[in-house]
């Protein structure tokens, strides 16, 4: 039995570069194409997640070592941020659009489309606030409304203001946030969505399961 081929590849579940087993491989080439193609199915040795790997060898180009240059891509594409568990476990009821847009933002981040991701974050915050307080005006008016409604604290409102300004800069002035910037903006956005849509139900469920404290009998 042939020995298994092991190679390093990014794992979207482990969120790290891990050892992968090559489950299947197919090489191809064409007479009118100087490139060499290698298609592989990989399985992570840590979590057994399966993904597809494509390697194209470009013999007419050389890398820094003088070897033919290779272009490697994965499907699904390598991710840099894990999606929150509640995105899959929790039903958004009438807010399926928010769930869909949030998924699109993660795709944009994984594909390094940072301007689109920044714009999407601004849009999703606008949608969340409008759902809860109505279309009461511009962003400043909506921020005041969600704060007055007790949906966010004063400090969280300040965080949201910065997030919206960054998203507006991406939408109108071509601002390209760094990966670190986007992680911060998403932390703030996920926190808002979780506090409004997820935590209330979870806290209510916990409260119903917590036993009441027994009352002490009065001494005679």
Pair 110, 82: CB distance under 8 Å: no
- Contacts of residue 67, Cβ cutoff 8 Å, sequence gap at least 6: none
pLDDT value of position 217: 61
pTM of the model: 0.66
Handedness of CA 123, 128, 134, 136 (dihedral sign): negative
pLDDT value of position 1: 42
Half-sphere exposure of 39 (CA within 13 A, CB side): 5
Please identify which residue in the block is written with the tokens 């119903």. Answer: 208
- Contacts of residue 102, Cβ cutoff 8 Å, sequence gap at least 6: 87, 124, 189, 193
CATH assignment of 86-209, among 2.30.30, 1.20.120, 1.10.490, 1.10.3470: 1.20.120
- Contacts of residue 110, Cβ cutoff 8 Å, sequence gap at least 6: 77, 78, 79, 80, 81
- Contacts of residue 183, Cβ cutoff 8 Å, sequence gap at least 6: 81
Cis amide linkage into residue 113, ω under 30° from 0: no
Query: Strands 6-11 and 68-75: what pairing?
Result: unpaired
Helices 154-173 and 114-133: angle between axes, nearest 10 degrees: 130
pLDDT in tens, the chain (220 residues): 457 889 999 888 888 889 999 999 999 888 778 889 999 999 999 999 999 999 998 877 777 777 888 888 888 777 767 788 887 765 555 577 888 888 888 888 877 888 999 999 999 999 999 988 999 999 899 999 999 998 888 888 888 899 888 888 888 888 888 888 888 999 999 988 888 888 887 778 888 888 887 766 665 5
Q: How far apart are the first and last CA of the chain?
A: 84
Handedness of CA 123, 129, 134, 135 (dihedral sign): negative
pLDDT value of position 220: 53
Question: How far apart, in whole angstroms, are the C-alpha atoms of residue 150 and residue 157?
Answer: 11
């Amino acid at each position: 039995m042939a020995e298994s081929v092991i190679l390093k590849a990014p794992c979207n579940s482990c969120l790290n570069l891990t050892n992968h087993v090559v489950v299947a491989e197919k090489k191809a080439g064409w007479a009118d194409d100087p490139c060499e193609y290698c298609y592989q199915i990989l399985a992570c040795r840590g979590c057994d997640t399966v993904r597809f790997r494509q390697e194209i060898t470009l013999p007419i180009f050389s890398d820094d070592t003088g070897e033919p240059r290779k272009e490697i891509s994965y499907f699904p594409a390598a991710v840099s941020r894990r999606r929150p568990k509640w995105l899959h476990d929790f039903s958004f009821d009438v807010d399926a659009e928010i769930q869909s847009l949030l998924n699109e933002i993660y795709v944009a981040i994984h594909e390094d489309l940072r301007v689109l991701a920044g714009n999407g974050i601004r849009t999703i915050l606008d949608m969340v606030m409008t759902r809860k307080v109505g279309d009461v005006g511009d962003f400043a008016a909506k921020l005041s409304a969600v704060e007055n409604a007790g949906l966010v604290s004063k400090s969280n409102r300040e965080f949201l203001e910065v997030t919206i300004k960054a998203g507006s800069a991406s939408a109108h002035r071509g601002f390209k946030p760094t990966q670190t910037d986007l992680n911060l903006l998403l932390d703030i956005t996920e926190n808002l969505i979780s506090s409004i849509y997820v935590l209330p139900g979870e806290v209510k469920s916990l409260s119903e399961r917590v036993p009441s404290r027994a009352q002490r009998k009065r001494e005679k």
